[in-house]
């Protein structure tokens, strides 16, 4: 299912939620070219780094050139985090 939303000529917004335990894998932001969606998501990401106890969920967004660009779910899983695409 395509969860992308067209922004303009050749640009699409994609969103996902990642959930995991322990320290958030910061390099995944670069790897998937994404960023936390809201201030609440930034706070969750920060808490996972400063107090990495429990489970954290972080909403992510990215702008891509293709409506069908895939998130790297297997790479997220390698860090112990699951990714679920959500409607943009």
Give me the domain span that covers residue 39: 5-86
The pTM is what? 0.86
How far is 60 from 38, CA to CA, in rounded Å? 8
Q: For 60-83, how does the pLDDT look when each residue is reduced to its tens digit (9 = 90+)?
A: 999 998 888 899 999 999 999 999
Count of alpha carbons within 13 Å of 59, Cβ hemisphere only? 10
Query: What are the pLDDT digits (tens) for 3-60?
Result: 777 787 788 999 999 999 999 999 999 999 999 999 999 999 999 999 888 899 999 9
25 three-class SS: coil
Count up the domains in the chain and report the number.
1
pLDDT at 41: 96
């Amino acid at each position: 299912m395509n969860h992308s939303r067209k922004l303009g000529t050749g640009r699409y917004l994609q969103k996902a939620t990642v959930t995991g335990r322990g320290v958030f894998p910061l390099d995944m932001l670069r790897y998937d070219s994404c960023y936390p969606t809201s201030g609440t998501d930034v706070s969750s990401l920060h808490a996972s780094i400063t107090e990495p106890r429990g489970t954290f969920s972080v909403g992510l967004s990215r702008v891509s050139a293709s409506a069908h660009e895939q998130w790297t779910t297997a790479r997220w899983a390698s860090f112990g985090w699951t990714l679920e695409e959500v409607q943009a």
